[in-house]
Structure 1
């Protein structure tokens, strides 16, 4: 893999990660509700989910999903259901006392991790995107495993840096949200964003 090819992939990865999506929504929500350190756990979950997607693509499952309407729809509707579930749960959250008290009853770290992991794994568009993108950067005449390793590592590191940025931004914003009314509004906003992401996924057509 040449440096030029890697740089082109790096740029594509940065654009993809910076574009707001379910992962960014999840990270900012956790950062505002539970603080930066606990948001890092959800960021790790997102990256584990991304690694799993790369593994699936590398072993050929990505191609199967790209070609099978049934496989696409199964994963799509699981993702739709999970995102809408997160949105409903966020809508049902009560307004927090104030930002300093949010961490008195934090969500378990295992739950933060598993929620974030599922946000990435249950997004079939990510699999289809990887199937469409990666072949353009893979040299078929060279060993593929090292190339997948380089591209996968690049994507994970880029996405982690971007998500850390989102988490830091969210924790800074949290200081401006101290009343119960503001926290309730924030929950409605993030709930709506999750439901919106699920709705967009629901209308995504198989190609």
Structure 2
């Protein structure tokens, strides 16, 4: 991989991970509701889970889906259902102090966050685009370069969005403001489904 291509890859990866999307909206909500420390497993699940997805996509996992075309529809249904479920959880999150004791008041775990990448529409779009543009040959070395860059830039992205949410806790110190914030995050999360359900609108 030449320096020019590598530089373009870094820029592409950074822009795609830092811009708003399901992962970042959930990280901001997690930072606001649970704080930075409790959100670390969620952050790591994204930071390592998505690059792992990139590797699997790069080495040909999409061919498995091509062999059975209904799998795309099933994946879309699962994506929509799980995102709606996560939006509901965010909208009904308890205040930070109560969330610590509530069984449902927990941030996503590492495994949950990593697994979410497989039903995250933006993650699929990012992985397919990155492989198509920067590892078109599907050479393992090129695929690993793409995945490695995403590991690096994800540290910046996940930290930034979680810290942003954590800092907002100062403004969300009463139930009304916190509820408005959580419902706003839930609506924005649902809004990310628009390109999936109505592709022609993008």
The answer to whether TM tops 0.5 is yes
Q: Distance in 1 between matches of 2:117 and 2:4?
A: 28
Runs of at least 5 residues in structure 2 that lack an aligned partner in the other structure:
none
* Contact 2:99 2:106 (C-alpha < 8 Å) held by counterparts: no
User: 1:27-66 alignment to 2 at 5 Å?
Assistant: 27-65=27-65
Query: Alignment length, in residue pairs?
Result: 198
2:101 matches 1:105: yes
Of residues 119, 132, 137 in structure 1, which corresponds to 2:134? Answer: 137
**Aligned CA-pair RMSD:** 2.6
- Show CA shifts across 1:78-132 (max 9, x none): 11100001112222334x2xx5x256337456x4334422332212453344334
Q: Distance in 1 between matches of 2:129 and 2:66?
A: 9
The Cα of 1:146 is off from its aligned counterpart by: 1.8
Name segments (4+ residues, structure 1) moved above 6 Å.
none
- Show CA shifts across 1:11-58 (max 9, x none): 111110111000001110110011011112101111232033113212
Q: Distance in 2 between matches of 1:136 and 1:67?
A: 23
* Residue aligning to 2:149: 154
Q: Distance in 2 between matches of 1:139 and 1:192?
A: 36
* Contact 1:36 1:171 (C-alpha < 8 Å) held by counterparts: yes
Q: Distance in 2 between matches of 1:128 and 1:78?
A: 16
